[in-house]
Amino acid sequence: MENFSVTILGSSSASPTSRRNTSSQLVNFYQRFYLVDCGEGTQIQLRRNRLKMSKINHILISHLHGDHFFGLVGLISSLNLFGRTKELHIYSDPRIKDVIDLQLEVSETALQFEIIYHPLNLEEKELIFEDKKLEIYSFPLEHRIPTCGFLFQEKQSFPNIKKTYIKKYQPSIEEIKKIRSGEDYILEDGTVIPNAEMTNEPPAARSYAYCSDTKYFENLHEFFKGVELLYTECTFMKDLQEVASNKFHMTTEDSSKLAKESEAQKLMVGHFSARYRDLTEFSEEMQSLRPGTILVNDNDTVNVRED
């Protein structure tokens, strides 16, 4: 289903390579767009993928390592240049505001729109955004500097009434609401039609978790238990477990363990160290640890659920 998808704008770690930009992803949920991280060149990648930056109203920055936010000020400047007036929400370590403000100040740029900064909670999982159909949570990761991951949780929709019953009884809008929320239907003669008989189970709510940058830690999976699509950073192969842990990054093995523990249905990994010019061995190792894992490439779009 294309109405909940993730486009990879950058999947390199630390520094861009000739094939990969630094971290950024665009989450599309029913044509509402959420940018997750904004490494240098993100605005160029948006343009390359014909994604309208003007449609982005919410930007989530996991942490303030440059490869996750150096593209933010350029994106903001371009939005301003293109005439944005609508407010923009940024969820981040609050120091991002100083970084943006200083750069706008030296360039004597007066924004024509308001930026609303939402400081992330670094202690516990927190709801940071909600609308009719979606909730977004941040949760604390363990990295060298304060860092959060993000969970996009679709709200569970109500059951649908079977068409035959609609036709047969022609319930009012009020009655439809009651049936969809679980009530039985009572005919004028007192006959009770059980709710289960009248309704179809709705599809399970979908979810996407973004987990970068972090080292593996024991309770991490609890923040997104049962997630449908899990993205984790996967900077190193497993022979570099010690390097990974020391640098607060994850390996192929960490990623597969985390996916298993969280009972994720699908795993995709990125944020590969630039040391892996060719990902063949990396991919083989990943597939042997967890078959079907997606190693992302820039400009890939992955649906949270395939039809």
Binding stretches for a second copy (CB under 8 A): 14-18, 21-22, 40-41, 43-44, 47-48, 64-67, 70-71, 73-74, 77-78, 81-82, 93, 95-96, 98-99, 102-103, 106-109, 144-145
Question: In 3D, which of 159, 290, 307 has the Cα closest to residue 232?
Answer: 290
Q: Tokens 């569970």 — which residue?
A: 156
Nearer to a second copy, 208 or 272 (CB): 272
For 162, 190, 192, 249, 255, the CA distances from 179, given in Å and listed in that order, are 11, 16, 12, 49, 42
Residue numbers annotated as active site: 67
CA distance 145 to 96: 13
Q: How far apart are CA 223 and CA 225, in angstroms?
A: 6
Least distance from a second copy to the Cβ atom of residue 40, Å: 4
Q: Which of 144, 148, 294, 279 is nearest to 212 (CA)?
A: 148
What is the CA 38 to chain-centroid distance, rounded? 13
Nearest residue (CB) to a second copy, 260 versus 275:
275
Residue partners of 179: CB distance under 8 A and separation at least 6: 161, 171, 185, 195, 198, 199
* Cβ nearer to a second copy, comparing 143 with 266: 143
Least distance CB 298 / a second copy (angstroms): 11
Q: Minimum CB separation from a second copy for residue 205, in Å?
A: 36
Contact between 59 and 24 (Cβ < 8 Å): no
Contact 80, 111 (CB under 8 A): yes
Nearer to a second copy, 98 or 218 (CB): 98
Helix (H, G, I), strand (E, B) or coil at 98: helix
Least distance in Å: CB of 34 to a second copy? Answer: 21
Nearer to a second copy, 70 or 158 (CB): 70
Q: Give the sign of the dihedral formed by CA 95, CA 89, CA 84, CA 2.
A: positive
Q: How far is the CB of 165 from a second copy (least distance, A)?
A: 52
**CB of 14 vs a second copy, minimal distance in Å:** 6
Measured from the CB atom, the residue of 273 and 293 that comes closer to a second copy is: 273
Query: Phi-psi bin for 31: left (phi > 0), alpha (psi -120 to 50), beta?
Result: left
Letter for the amino acid at 1?
M
Q: Between helices 252-261 and 280-289, what is the axis angle to 10°?
A: 30
